[in-house]
Amino acid sequence: MAEDLPVARLALPVPLQRNFDYLAPGMGPDDVGRLVRVPFGKGEKTAVVLALPVASEVEPSRLKPIVSVMREVPALPRDWLALVEFAARYYHHPLGEALAVALPPGLRRAELLASRERDPWLVATSQANVWLETKPRAPRLIALLDALAGGARRRGELLAAGFSSCHLRDAKSRGLIEEAPADRSADLSSAPTLNAEQQQVIAAIAGEAGKFKGWLLHGITGSGKTEVYLRLIERTLATGQQALLLVPEIGLTPQLEQRVAQRFPRARRIALHSGASDGARCRGFLDALTGEADIVMGTRLAVFSPLPRLGLILVDEEHDASYKQQDGMRYSARDLAVWRAHQRGVPVVLGSATPSLESWQQALNGRYCKLELSERAAAAAPPTIRLIDTRRIKLRDGLSPQLEAALAACLARGEQSLVFLNRRGYAPVLACPACNWVSDCDRCSAHRVLHLAERVLRCHHCGSEAPVPRACPQCGNQDLVGFGRGTQRLEEWISQRFPEARVLRADRDSIRTPAQWIALRQAIENGDADILVGTQMLAKGHDFPRLTLVGVVGADASLFASDYRAPERLFQQLMQVAGRAGRAALPGEVLIQTEFPDHPLFDALRRQDYSGFARDELAQREAAWFPPFGAQAVLRAEADKVDDAIAFLVEARALGDDLSEGLRRFDPVPMRLVRRARLERAQLVIEADQRSVLQNHLAAWLPRLAKLRRTVRWHLDVDPTEI
């Protein structure tokens, strides 16, 4: 009888803000968190059991039964479900779809699970080294030992990497590999002796282990933050707990992965990132879930790892933009990491040389505790930063004679240089180099963007417009500058100017895969390149010991970009890129070309004064009620014609008129990159002084949007990082 059967409440991966009830024969409270298969529409879907039993409002005779329970997957723990539920609620995303983001894609396919049954961790034996010394001719076995040089690996992982079970048997019978015992000890043989600052930092964090605390580790590039992470992981593993280490982009941080592997050669480590195969992600997720993995390292999606023994969360380069997901559920992995640490009562360490202003403000107001590493750990001195005033200089394809001369000198010394191009597609604003006037909006505190074709300045924040002035309204100067012009030909020009130099380009167009990136890094480290020309990606944490000169070109565009976060990103990037220079014995120099040498941002940069920069920038944000002081959300719409997108947003806004108390709701505006994938886009910015006011508004307002026509695709972005 259907009436006697328990009813389960399920989340299904469908774009609806509701859950579904199904009959759950033979199931009980222990099955909360199980994956199940259920009939839905014409087919079947995988769902997650949220609650069981529940009293359904639907008559039992009208409920359908669950088809099967995926018992090969352990039930997802309640704290994990609570994390995903929080994310779904906060980012206003359907729970079933949020679960689909949080679960590895492979988990829905039972055949991947079956292979896990007999999947031991394998390591190289001590015998292996002796054998290698004999210079054997067995390339596959050598390759296998190579693969295990980084520590224990799952058998399935090795099979997926192309080793056959035959090879594994062979290696085992020769005594070269064995099943790994769970060994969490650290190998400190190549670890440096901690300096006083590092000791203080570690003592502070370790002294408050076992409870929630947010730590902001502010340490200049090369100050030994990674060493601090390793020591904290060591302590965490020693108490039998798991450590979660979030990194911006795993393909770009192999050095960090190697250092973790080297320090914990026999520990069970897993790496989770979107580039991994379904099988690898699925295995990694299950290793985390069963508590077998001791160290979980990964990109933003790893924040959704189930970790039954979680003891520590580390977020490296916490300011990095890649922690924010830019499609689907637009979550911030850094913010969720802090929530997660709070939920589980464990410490979270946010590390950066240039923290996000959000985190910095939390440290200033006492919610996080700030720790400093103020000196480079390995002898090298910080680089000197100088500005090249280009106001009265003729540039050749973006390059000043000073920078050209510095490149020539560096080349003559046989050292490496890097020309860093700031080439983000920022919309141009109008500015006056004579008096620093900028085309500010008089209705809100954003800059107005120059639209040359229409001859207007338009605010992308509130939508207001003004004509383009002929001269500076402040000082009358007629040479106003529109920023945002490209420097595409720079590389060509450098190659022509220095025909004897080996010029390498590194940006998203030339480096698309981790393998290409590794090859490029090797070329740089081996000294196979004299001049590197590159964008953002070269700024991230790598040691290039022979690099002594960094030239920065095109920075001004970010100074006055319409996106109020652009100066923060510029400062972060330039500090990072400066950190690349002079890391070994050679001193480094950074030259920045600018038409605004008196700008406070450059002044702070020259002094390498992050806190001074943060103070100025936060004061401006506070005056404008921009985050971190106010809270923001953006509703974006896409349609064939931008007018339709705008019309949608106007209607959408009207549906919230009665709920708008305490909010600033601006006019819908076309987006900077209006056309993308043949669709035209517009956005509506909503702000409140308090996060809770904004959240309440969104919760009441969004369900009403379902009524609007479906020809327009829309999404909501809470705490947007790109406006």
Closer to Zn ion by Cβ: residue 310 or 459? 459
Q: How far is the CB of 265 from Zn ion (least distance, A)?
A: 56
649 binds, among Zn ion, ligand ADP, none (CB under 5 to 8 A by kind): none
- The residues binding ligand ADP (CB under 6 A) are 192-195, 198, 219, 221-227, 377-378, 541
Give the span between the Cα atoms of 225 and 231, in whole angstroms: 10
Is residue 440 within 8 A of residue 561, CB to CB? The reply is: no
Closer to ligand ADP by Cβ: residue 194 or 321? 194
Contacts of residue 360, defined as CB under 8 A and 6 or more positions apart, other chains included, come to 216, 611, 614, 618
| DSSP 8-state secondary structure symbol assigned to residue 447 | B
Is residue 638 within 8 A of residue 714, CB to CB? The reply is: yes
Q: How far is the CB of 599 from Zn ion (least distance, A)?
A: 14
Give the span between the Cα atoms of 47 and 38, in whole angstroms: 7
451 binds, among ligand ADP, Zn ion, none (CB under 5 to 8 A by kind): none
Q: How far is the CB of 259 from ligand ADP (least distance, A)?
A: 8
**Tokens representing 638?**
């896409």
Closer to ligand ADP by Cβ: residue 96 or 224? 224
Closer to ligand ADP by Cβ: residue 168 or 230? 230
Q: How far is the CB of 379 from ligand ADP (least distance, A)?
A: 8
Q: How far is the CB of 596 from Zn ion (least distance, A)?
A: 12
Contacts of residue 139, defined as CB under 8 A and 6 or more positions apart, other chains included, come to none
Closer to ligand ADP by Cβ: residue 221 or 362? 221
DSSP assignment of 323-382: GB--SSS--BHHHHHHHHHHHHT-EEEEEESS--HHHHHHHHTTSEEEEEE-S-SSSPPP
219 binds, among ligand ADP, Zn ion, none (CB under 5 to 8 A by kind): ligand ADP
Q: How far is the CB of 461 from Zn ion (least distance, A)?
A: 5
Closer to ligand ADP by Cβ: residue 378 or 699? 378
Q: How far is the CB of 448 from Zn ion (least distance, A)?
A: 7
378 binds, among Zn ion, ligand ADP, none (CB under 5 to 8 A by kind): ligand ADP
Closer to Zn ion by Cβ: residue 42 or 470? 470
Backbone phi and psi for residue 214, each to the nearest 5 degrees, phi listed first:
-95, 120
Is residue 494 within 8 A of residue 419, CB to CB? The reply is: yes
Q: Partners of 49 in the beta sheet?
A: 10
Is residue 351 within 8 A of residue 318, CB to CB? The reply is: yes
Cis peptide bond N-terminal to 597, omega within 30: no
Closer to ligand ADP by Cβ: residue 151 or 224? 224
223 binds, among ligand ADP, Zn ion, none (CB under 5 to 8 A by kind): ligand ADP
The region that residue 345 occupies, defined by phi over 0 for left and psi between -120 and 50 for alpha, beta otherwise, is left
Block residue for tokens 């109008």: 430
Q: How far is the CB of 374 from ligand ADP (least distance, A)?
A: 11
Q: Partners of 396 in the beta sheet?
A: 399
**Neighbour tally for 377: CB within 10 Å:** 20
226 binds, among Zn ion, ligand ADP, none (CB under 5 to 8 A by kind): ligand ADP
459 binds, among ligand ADP, Zn ion, none (CB under 5 to 8 A by kind): Zn ion
Closer to ligand ADP by Cβ: residue 326 or 611? 611
Contacts of residue 111, defined as CB under 8 A and 6 or more positions apart, other chains included, come to none
Q: How far is the CB of 200 from ligand ADP (least distance, A)?
A: 12
Closer to Zn ion by Cβ: residue 140 or 451? 451
195 binds, among Zn ion, ligand ADP, none (CB under 5 to 8 A by kind): ligand ADP
443 binds, among ligand ADP, Zn ion, none (CB under 5 to 8 A by kind): Zn ion
- The residues binding Zn ion (CB under 5 A) are 432, 434-435, 437, 441, 443-444, 446, 459, 461-462, 472, 474-475, 477
225 binds, among Zn ion, ligand ADP, none (CB under 5 to 8 A by kind): ligand ADP
Closest residue by Cα to residue 437 from 463, 476, 468, 464: 476
442-to-55, 439, 445, 463, 559 alpha-carbon distances in Å: 56, 9, 7, 11, 19
Block residue for tokens 């992995």: 333
Q: How far is the CB of 263 from ligand ADP (least distance, A)?
A: 11
**Tokens representing 250?**
């795993």
